[in-house]
Amino acid sequence: MTETTPAAPPVAAKQPHTFTHHGVTIEDPYAWLRDPGYPEVTDTAILTHLEAENAWFKARMKAQEPLADALFREMRGRIKEADKSVPQKDGDWLYWIEYEEGAEYKKWWRRPVSSGPDELILDEVALAEGLEYFRLGAISVSSDGRLLAWSVDDNGSERFTARIKVIATGEVLPDTIPETLSALVWAAGDTALVYSLANAQWRTDNARLHWLGKPVSEDIELYHEDDEGFRVSAGLSANEEWLVISAGDHETSEIRLIPTADPLAAPLLVKPRQTGVEYDVDLRGDTLFIHTNDTHENFRLATAPLASPAEWTTLIAGSDEFYLTGFDLFRDFYVIEGRVRGLDRIEVRYYDDPARIEPILFPEASYEASLGDNPEWAIDTLRVSYESMVSPASVYDYSVATRALTVLKVQEIPSGYDAALYTTERLEIAARDGTMVPVSVVYCKDRPAGGPLYLYGYGAYGIAIGPGFSTGRLSLVDRGMAFAIAHIRGGDDLGRAWYKAGKLTQRTNTFTDFVDVAQGLIARGMTAPGKIAISGGSAGGELIGAVINSDPALFGAAVAHVPFVDVLATMLDAELPLTPGEWPEWGNPIEDKAAFDLIRSYSPYDQVRAQAYPPLLVTAGLNDPRVTYWEPAKWVARLREFKTDDNELLLKTNMGAGHGGKSGRFEGLKETAEEFAFILWQLGLAQKDPGE
């Protein structure tokens, strides 16, 4: 049976549907694309429409398949297929991960520090065999090194099933914990696991204890959260003596401590929640260390006696210049991480000498640096990760005593890479309100001015997009494109105030910053109108939707991955998985008319209008619990109805995946290759090969 090539894009049916809030009635004729049985999607009309969109995507991209294949080969050629991580000591063992030639997934290994054979502790390749989708969630070795707990999602819904095995024999124990969405934390002398279940609304409102060998039905709830906007998680203190049970949303947190050895003991509340105050904790002996924004939005580090955990005394004061993002405790010293003017900073500090501050110094002016995996309590060497837009990812050991960095591994690029061919800049471009917005750019040194440019943005949840390295983007850069990251408000690139200036009532700063960066790059002669391709995913997809509504002529192509575009309807639906926890980020339009009006004014779906739009590629995941599949489907349907141009509008829905697209290191590359092929096609660069 041969497939028929569609002659025209699918046109979604319109069915009358309205809803009214605050005296305003909204018409939503594409609401039927939401299956009422979600997360099960069985409605024939919906599935038929999504498959028709996929067929249209395939038909329109068919001529670009050779280009996508070439891009994929380039990207794959830059990946060292048979590769492994630098082994790291944890107790009596050295642990590492390995990829075999051609493998989509990795294998987890260890060997004794003293001597002995390598042991394969988890084989993702075998676990993924026969599955369309595979994602490892949590993985945790018991403190005695005997048992391994892990969890797997096999459809992209982010509901993981946890299992346990005896490492030495490979015996998988009968214990099976379905529907988890959390870490797996060993407790009670490795006889129990602490975890969180995802409830019917995909919310983790609990911390539970599973005794090995007992039925899951007998698991004990250690903590239950009644606020539907809060999420619960569990972890271990650095010295592994305490379970840390955290509850919080996007702006408020609350923590309880339970002895790891006695998980049924009464939890110790560190400090009652206070709206707008976030904190996280760790312990050294009987002293609590608290990272909190209670007195300064850029956070301070405080201490408190375990006997009086709410009595916080400042150790490191909050600072306008230094944004304190986190800390790690070790036996003899501690480490703080943060950013100064948007650049990462790592400092070693000492318990007995507060004035002794030892920053770890790096050579480049713009980079990403962070602590790597440092699992042991008593260490004298830190594992550190480093990269920049022109420097491949590197792993270092940092000697605390000598303050020397030793290179352990530099990312290998088998097909070759010469950093001297590229240049990177960190620019500042004025937004319309005068705020200077940082922009990280990389391009070939011989690139002509005014050429095409790829502009990426996110701008939400206080997530910074660092100036890191990517082998994939070289396929664009080597074809004459500049690659730019706009560090727009809504992320916390420049501190907590930068985040706050792009959320709630100031949300539109995120969108105008992005537009102003694009116009600023044009004004600097780096590119030209219509030569800019833009891309973003999830909340970054909301960004893309907003700016093509406001300034469509500025962009030559746009890509929106799993875009959060039906913002108003989603924030009005308290039954959706994420909605209650999202109100501190976007506002609550159910209770607040001002929030309703503001969200409606920028929600990409609601603001689609009769105008010409740039060529647009949209992706979705049928099993996506974060941005439900119907958001991009409805958006594309409305765009097809209203847009006045003949530009490409393509929707690709992964029918067996979720928010992150296809799983596997090469399957994911294929989707990037498709995106880049679309962009090069639309910008008229499809025939340009690197080196021409």
| pLDDT (tens digit per residue) in 222-281 | 999 999 889 999 999 999 999 999 999 989 999 999 999 999 999 999 999 999 999 999
Using a CB cutoff of 8 Å and minimum separation of 24, what contacts does 518-521 make?
518/455, 518/486, 518/551, 518/554, 518/555, 519/554, 520/427, 520/429, 520/430, 520/439, 521/427, 521/429, 521/439, 521/441, 521/453, 521/455, 521/484
* Assigned domain for 555 exists: yes
Question: Is the torsion defined by CA of 186, 191, 194, 198 positive or negative?
Answer: positive
Give the separation between CA 175 and CA 142, rounded to whole angstroms. 15
pLDDT band at residue 689 using 50, 70 and 90 as cut-offs:
low
Region of residue 240 (left: phi > 0; alpha: psi -120 to 50; beta: else): left
Residues 478 and 347 in one domain: no
What are the tens digits of pLDDT across the range 637-651?
Answer: 999 999 999 999 999
The boundaries of the domain holding residue 336 are 321-412
pLDDT of residue 282 exceeding 80 = yes
429-455: b or e for each residue (b if 16 or more CB lie within 10 Å)?
A: bebeeebebbbbbbbbeebeeebbbbb
For residue 559, what are the β-bridge partners?
A: 535, 617
Please report, for residues 294, 419, 493, 586, the alpha-carbon distance to residue 502 in angstroms, rounded to integers and kept in the order given: 20, 35, 12, 10
pLDDT band at residue 612 using 50, 70 and 90 as cut-offs:
very high
Give the separation between CA 269 and CA 556, rounded to whole angstroms. 54
For residue 233, what are the β-bridge partners?
A: 246
Residue 690: its pLDDT value, please?
63
Residues 488 and 608 in one domain: yes
For residue 235, the surrounding DSSP H or E stretch is strand 231-236
Phi, psi angles (nearest 5°) of residue 561: -90, 130
In this structure, which amino acid lies at residue 282? D
Question: For 410, what's the count of Cα atoms within 13 Å in the CB-facing half-sphere?
Answer: 9
252-261: b or e for each residue (b if 16 or more CB lie within 10 Å)?
A: bbbbbbbbbe
pTM: 0.92
What are the tens digits of pLDDT across the range 418-454?
Answer: 999 999 999 999 999 999 999 999 999 999 999 999 9
* Assigned domain for 299 exists: no
Give the separation between CA 234 and CA 212, rounded to whole angstroms. 18
Residue among 519, 516, 535, 544 nearest 437 (CA): 516
Residues 528 and 460 in one domain: yes
Residues 543 and 462 in one domain: yes
Q: Which residues participate in catalysis according to the annotation?
A: 538, 624, 659
* Assigned domain for 550 exists: yes
Secondary structure E strands in 590-662: 616-621, 649-654
Longest dimension (CA), the chain: 77
pLDDT of residue 3 exceeding 70 = no
Residue 135: its pLDDT value, please?
93
Residues 467 and 555 in one domain: yes
Cβ neighbours of 11 (radius 10 Å): 11
Residue 662: its pLDDT value, please?
66
Phi, psi angles (nearest 5°) of residue 683: -90, 5
For residue 440, what are the β-bridge partners?
A: 426, 485
Give the separation between CA 508 and CA 73, rounded to whole angstroms. 39
**Residue whose tokens read 């969200």:** 599
Cβ neighbours of 615 (radius 10 Å): 21
Give the separation between CA 469 and CA 440, rounded to whole angstroms. 11
Give the separation between CA 304 and CA 47, rounded to whole angstroms. 56
**Residue whose tokens read 């790096």:** 362
**Residue whose tokens read 């993981």:** 160
Contact between 243 and 234 under an 8 Å Cβ cutoff? The reply is: yes
Residues 525 and 642 in one domain: yes
Please report, for residues 127, 183, 624, the alpha-carbon distance to residue 133 in angstroms, rounded to integers and kept in the order given: 11, 20, 13
pLDDT of residue 603 exceeding 60 = yes
pLDDT of residue 165 exceeding 50 = yes
Secondary structure E strands in 54-211: 83-84, 88-90, 93-99, 107-112, 119-123, 135-141, 147-153, 160-166, 172-180, 185-187, 192-195, 206-211
What are the tens digits of pLDDT across the range 126-135?
Answer: 999 999 889 9
Contact between 181 and 151 under an 8 Å Cβ cutoff? The reply is: no
Give the separation between CA 316 and CA 291, rounded to whole angstroms. 9
* Assigned domain for 266 exists: no
Residues 556 and 678 in one domain: yes
* Domain boundary pick from 412, 436, 462: 412
pLDDT of residue 115 exceeding 70 = yes
pLDDT of residue 658 exceeding 70 = no
Residue 139: its pLDDT value, please?
97
Mean pLDDT of the chain: 95
* Assigned domain for 132 exists: no
pLDDT of residue 1 exceeding 90 = no
Residues 588 and 457 in one domain: yes
Residues 421 and 388 in one domain: no
659-686: b or e for each residue (b if 16 or more CB lie within 10 Å)?
A: bbbbbbeeebbbbbbbbbbbbbbbbebb
CATH number (domain holding residue 600): 3.40.50.1820
State the total domains in the chain: 2
Give the separation between CA 692 and CA 690, rounded to whole angstroms. 6
pLDDT band at residue 4 using 50, 70 and 90 as cut-offs:
confident
**Structure token pair of residue 436:** 């200077």
- The percentage of residues in the chain with a pLDDT greater than 90, rounded to a whole number, is 90
Give the separation between CA 663 and CA 615, rounded to whole angstroms. 27
* Assigned domain for 27 exists: no
Phi, psi angles (nearest 5°) of residue 338: -175, -165
Q: What is the DSSP letter of 557?
A: E
pLDDT of residue 532 exceeding 80 = yes
Helix (H, G, I), strand (E, B) or coil at 442: strand
Phi, psi angles (nearest 5°) of residue 489: -65, 150
Contact between 571 and 229 under an 8 Å Cβ cutoff? The reply is: no
Residues 469 and 394 in one domain: no
* Domain boundary pick from 382, 412, 442: 412
* Assigned domain for 257 exists: no
Please report, for residues 88, 92, 328, the alpha-carbon distance to residue 376 in angstroms, rounded to integers and kept in the order given: 10, 11, 11
Contact between 242 and 223 under an 8 Å Cβ cutoff? The reply is: no
Residues 443 and 351 in one domain: no
Contact between 373 and 88 under an 8 Å Cβ cutoff? The reply is: yes
* Domain boundary pick from 412, 434, 454: 412
* Assigned domain for 430 exists: yes
457-495: b or e for each residue (b if 16 or more CB lie within 10 Å)?
A: bbbbbbebbbbbbbbbbbbbbbbbbbbbbbbbbbbbbbb
Residues 466 and 592 in one domain: yes
In this structure, which amino acid lies at residue 208? R
